[in-house]
Amino acid sequence: MKLALFADSATPFVERALTRLTGAEVRAWPFSWPTAVRPELEAFAPDWVLVWACAEAGRFPDVAPLLALPFRFLVPNLVTRDDGTMGSLALSEPASLRARILAWNARLADLARAHANLSLVDLDGVQARLGRAKTFDPRLWEAASMALTPEAAEAFAGRVADVVRAAAGHVRKVLVTDLDGTLWDGIVSEVGPEGIDPEGPGRRAYRAWLRALADRGVLLAVASHNDPDVARAAFDRPGLGLAPADFLAFEADWGPKPDMLRRIAARLHVGTDALVFVDDRPEQRAQVREALPEVAVPEMPDDPARWVESLAGLNLFEAAQLTADDRLRAQSLRDEAARAEAAAALSPEAYLASLEQELTAEPLGPGNLARAAQLTQRCNQFNMRGTRHTEGDLAGRRGWVYRLRDRFGDLGAIAAVVLEGDFIETWVISCRALNRGVERLILDHLRAQCPTLHGAYVPTARNARCANVYKEHGVPTP
DSSP labels, 15-76: HHHHHHHH--EEEEEET--GGGGHHHHHHH--SEEEEE--GGGT-----GGGGGSSS-EEEE
How high is the pLDDT of residue 239? 83
Do the Cβ atoms of 221 and 177 come closer than 8 Å? yes
How high is the pLDDT of residue 16? 97
How high is the pLDDT of residue 147? 95
Average pLDDT over residues 282-309: 97
Confidence of residue 378 (pLDDT cuts 50, 70, 90): confident
How far is Cα 339 from Cα 336, in angstroms, rounded to an integer?
A: 5
How high is the pLDDT of residue 408? 85
How high is the pLDDT of residue 392? 84
Per-residue pLDDT tens over the stretch 136-153: 999 999 999 999 999 999
Asked whether the predicted pLDDT for residue 135 surpasses 80, the reply is yes
Task: Specify the higher pLDDT residue, 446 or 341.
Answer: 446
How far is Cα 223 from Cα 279, in angstroms, rounded to an integer?
A: 9
Q: What is the pTM of this model?
A: 0.74
How high is the pLDDT of residue 173? 92
Percentage, residues of the chain above pLDDT 70: 97
Per-residue pLDDT tens over the stretch 243-278: 998 999 999 999 999 999 999 999 888 899 999 999
Average pLDDT over residues 153-157: 97
Average pLDDT over residues 368-380: 91
Domain residue spans of the chain: 2-167, 174-313, 341-472
Q: Which fold has domain 174-313?
A: Rossmann fold (3.40.50)
Average pLDDT over residues 433-461: 94
The alpha carbon dihedral of 142, 145, 147, 153 has a sign of: negative
How high is the pLDDT of residue 351? 80
How high is the pLDDT of residue 337? 66
Average pLDDT over residues 226-242: 90
> Per mean pLDDT, which range of 53-57, 171-175, 281-285, 443-447 is the poorest?
53-57
β-partners of residue 119 are 74
Asked whether the predicted pLDDT for residue 22 surpasses 90, the reply is yes
Asked whether the predicted pLDDT for residue 330 surpasses 80, the reply is no
Q: Residue 32, Cβ neighbours under 10 Å: how many?
A: 15
How high is the pLDDT of residue 170? 87
- Of 125, 172, 164, 123, nearest in space to 11 by CA: 123
Q: Which fold has domain 341-472?
A: Aminopeptidase (3.40.630)
Max mean pLDDT among 19-23, 52-56, 333-337 falls in: 19-23
Asked whether the predicted pLDDT for residue 331 surpasses 80, the reply is no
β-partners of residue 19 are none
Compute the residue count for the chain.
478
Pairing between β-strand 398-406 and β-strand 409-420 as defined by DSSP bridges: antiparallel
- Mean of the per-residue pLDDT values for the chain? 92
Q: Which fold has domain 2-167?
A: Rossmann fold (3.40.50)
Percentage, residues of the chain above pLDDT 90: 75
Q: Do domains 2-167 and 341-472 have the same CATH topology?
A: no
How far is Cα 413 from Cα 403, in angstroms, rounded to an integer?
A: 4
Task: Specify the higher pLDDT residue, 331 or 14.
Answer: 14
How far is Cα 420 from Cα 426, in angstroms, rounded to an integer?
A: 9
How far is Cα 148 from Cα 127, in angstroms, rounded to an integer?
A: 10
Asked whether the predicted pLDDT for residue 327 surpasses 70, the reply is no
Confidence of residue 391 (pLDDT cuts 50, 70, 90): confident
Asked whether the predicted pLDDT for residue 438 surpasses 80, the reply is yes
Per-residue pLDDT tens over the stretch 39-73: 999 999 999 999 999 988 888 999 999 999 999 99
Alpha helices in 254-356 (DSSP H): 257-267, 282-291, 307-313, 324-327, 329-344, 348-354
Confidence of residue 336 (pLDDT cuts 50, 70, 90): low
Measured in whole angstroms, how far is the alpha carbon of residue 179 from the centre of its chain? 25
